[in-house]
Amino acid sequence: MNKAQCLRNVLESKEFNTLPIFLKGVASLIDGDESIKLESISSYLVDSQFLSELKDPIHGVDFAFGDSLRDVKCTLKDEESRLHELYITYEGVKKLKITSGDIPYAPFLDQCFSNVEELVGAFFRHVRSLQSYFYELENIDNNCVILDPIKPTFKDNFRNIRIDDKTWLYVEVTLDGYPSNMHLIGQSEVWQGKLQNGILNWDHDKNIVENITSIFDLNDHSISYKSLSEAIKPCDAEVKDDIICGICFCSELPDNLSVPQPLCQNLNCDVHFHKSCLFQWLVACEGGRPPSFGIINGSCPTCLQPISCSNNN
């Protein structure tokens, strides 16, 4: 309720039928308004030590204020000139809290810090420990067609790589820069044997992209390998825009930014599905009973061939 409406209520109320009561009501209205102002002003106040710490230059680090002096963006440049961001909130004297960032989770992100130098030091150490992780993800993004995440960042530790029109390769990268949980999505009969042999004969002297290229002979399938053809680079965005889910008929969901995947194993089925949509569809077809171990089996909504889906993204 705004101040004008509050004043109107005081003027029209039968409770304020004498001058002393009326003046008391107006005074309480003014006092309430002042307390709101003071609370609003105090939310922007910071101590001088915090400001002086931000003014002191730190090599490779830049600071920028947000909506108030309490909200600060910290940008750090690593050894390879990559930029990494943390958003900091000043919660009180010697109490700095990290609210968000574009780096993988680490325990220090949940800590409170007493000063800027302490926080930046923890940020530096974490970024320095992730150089192999950054290198592998950056190399994948620069050389392969990434279908998911839609806008990959270093915070996302996985990539869905296009192998062909109906097959994707899912790979996670550990914080040490090693591949993990690598598997195929879609009609993978042609590629499954190659992947199994490739994992058994993984060359640890090569990076992830070099191993993937060797396993799937991507030199012979340049549609999946960006650096071999300049013409394929814009295809990344086009493919993402064209893929729609056969259940919700959308490319993206409000609560899930992943794109529809070729989850049906039928070679003649070209329909993609959001994993969450397919999982809910199959559960509903089974009477709504939650599946054991998080995996549901049923029939493809399009071709009616056997299909399975897990509730893990």
Same-domain pairing of 235 and 281: no
Same-domain pairing of 117 and 143: no
Containing structural domain, residue 64? 48-129
Give the number of domains in the chain. Answer: 4
Whether 312 has a pLDDT exceeding 80, the answer reads: no
129, 163, 183 — which closes off a domain? 129
What b-and-e string marks burial along 91-124, b requiring 16 or more CB atoms within 10 Å of the CB? eeeeebbbeebebbebeebeeebeebebbbebbb
Among 70-74, 211-215, 267-271, whose mean pLDDT is lowest?
Answer: 267-271
- Long-range Cβ contact pairs of 57-63 (< 8 A, separation 24 or more): 58/117, 58/120, 61/120
Percent of the chain with pLDDT over 90: 34
Report the distance separating Cα 289 and Cα 150, nearest Å.
32
pLDDT of the residue at 12: 65
108, 129, 150 — which closes off a domain? 129
pLDDT digits (tens, 9 = 90+) for 90-141: 998 889 999 999 999 999 999 999 999 999 999 999 999 999 999 999 999 9
pLDDT of the residue at 255: 74
Residue 245's CB is within 10 A of a number of other CB atoms, namely: 21
Residue 12 tokens, joined: 């029209």
Whether 267 has a pLDDT exceeding 90, the answer reads: no
pLDDT digits (tens, 9 = 90+) for 180-227: 999 888 776 778 888 888 888 899 999 999 999 988 877 644 445 554
Write the DSSP string, 219-234: GG-GGGBGGG-GGGTT
